[in-house]
């Protein structure tokens, strides 16, 4: 999606991005976060509703359709503290000598920045420009970048050539992000991204999902893989109810960012 230039454009882009992480938001909450009046937010929501990007509700707005996702730079401004904490917990899973695959996304990009702070003698295979840019300056990290068709929306490369290239390598760990997580497993909006995630998971000994808790029980266009395909989940808050039961039933290691240690032993 595209927006015209100006403060209103930035504000409306932030509203759409916020609804990408929450099923609904209140006008008063948006006004406080954006530093504008409630009336200004109501006008923005009305315009976005007319363009089919959100649905106006009583007191606020409802989330996007299953097949839409905010652009990379919009997602990168949301849940910043949560993604930072998740990244710092996730790097503890990586040790010297590991071969690591990392897919393209705002959370995995933050993970790469933290990984660059102290990782030594690892090899990273990625389709993400943000991940590669974060790691290349570290001489002790070998970066292998995938070929493919560049997506400006996702800031990465995708397509059959990307997946075929990934099939040439073996990895100790694959770190992926997702738009949501349900009992079925992680899901995403972008079909091409799903194929890259599946390929990375299929080539790695351990599959690690990096996901903030706002995405729990969120359903999107396409299932990436069954829950059982993963070995670890790193998140900022423990899920509850059926989702927690599903994670335990599949023997996944659940790592809370606040603690940085697994809550459930994984069968690896």
pLDDT in tens, 72-98: 455 444 556 788 999 999 999 999 999
* pLDDT-derived band at 65, boundaries 50, 70, 90: low
Summarised one tens digit per residue, pLDDT across range 98-123 is 999 999 998 999 999 999 998 889 99
C-alpha angle 98/105/196, rounded to 5°? Answer: 70
> 7-64 with 75-256: one CATH topology?
no
Task: Give CA separation, 19 vs 25, 48, 153, 155, in Å.
Answer: 7, 12, 17, 21
With CA atoms as reference, report the closest residue to 214 among 192, 189, 239.
Answer: 239
List, in order, residues 6 or more apart from 91 with CB less than 8 Å away. 111, 114, 115, 118, 119
State the Cα–Cα distance between residues 13 and 170, nearest whole angstrom. 39
More confident residue, 253 or 81: 253
pLDDT of residue 153: 79
CATH 3.40.50.1360 fits 75-256, yes or no: yes
The SS3 assignment for 119 reads coil
For 22, phi and psi rounded to 5 degrees?
-130, 140
Q: Six-digit token pair at 57?
A: 């509700």
State the Cα–Cα distance between residues 175 and 231, nearest whole angstrom. 11
Bridge partners (DSSP) listed for residue 173: 100, 206
Dihedral in degrees, nearest 10, Cα atoms 151, 154, 155, 157: -50
Is 220 within 8 Å of 197 (Cβ atoms)? no
Domain segments of the chain as ranges: 7-64, 75-256
pLDDT of residue 70: 53
For 200, phi and psi rounded to 5 degrees?
-60, -45
CATH 1.10.10.10 fits 7-64, yes or no: yes
Least confident of 32-36, 67-71, 152-156, 182-186: 67-71
Q: Six-digit token pair at 76?
A: 């990168």
pLDDT of residue 264: 43
Bridge partners (DSSP) listed for residue 125: 101, 144
With CA atoms as reference, report the closest residue to 60 among 32, 79, 92, 93.
Answer: 32
- The pTM of the full predicted model, rounded to 2 decimals, is 0.73
Is 199 within 8 Å of 167 (Cβ atoms)? yes
List, in order, residues 6 or more apart from 192 with CB less than 8 Å away. 151, 158, 159
List, in order, residues 6 or more apart from 166 with CB less than 8 Å away. 101, 125, 127, 146, 196, 199, 200, 203
């Amino acid at each position: 999606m595209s927006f015209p230039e100006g403060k209103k454009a930035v504000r409306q882009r932030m509203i759409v991005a916020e609804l990408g992480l929450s099923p609904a938001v209140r006008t008063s909450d948006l006004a406080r976060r954006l530093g504008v009046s409630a009336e200004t937010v109501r006008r923005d929501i009305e315009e976005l509703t007319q363009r089919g990007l959100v649905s106006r509700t009583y007191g606020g707005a409802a989330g996007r359709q299953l097949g839409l996702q905010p652009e990379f730079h919009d997602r990168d401004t949301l849940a910043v503290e949560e993604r930072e904490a998740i990244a710092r917990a996730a790097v503890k899973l990586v040790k010297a000598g590991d071969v690591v695959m990392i897919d393209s996304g705002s959370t995995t990009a933050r993970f790469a920045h933290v990984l660059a702070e102290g990782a030594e003698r690892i090899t990273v295979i990625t389709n993400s420009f943000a991940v590669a840019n974060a790691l290349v300056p570290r001489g002790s990290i070998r970066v292998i970048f995938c070929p493919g068709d560049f997506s400006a929306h996702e800031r990465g490369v995708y397509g059959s050539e990307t997946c075929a290239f990934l099939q040439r390598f073996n990895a100790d760990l694959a770190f992926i992000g997702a738009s949501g997580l349900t009992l079925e497993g992680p899901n995403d909006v972008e079909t091409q991204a799903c194929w890259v995630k599946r390929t990375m998971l299929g080539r790695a000994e351990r599959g690690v999902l990096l996901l903030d808790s706002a995405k729990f029980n969120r359903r999107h266009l396409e299932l990436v893989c069954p829950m059982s395909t993963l070995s670890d989940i790193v998140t900022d808050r423990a899920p509850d109810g059926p989702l927690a039961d599903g994670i335990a039933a599949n023997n996944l290691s659940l790592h809370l960012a606040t603690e940085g240690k697994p809550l459930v032993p994984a069968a690896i």
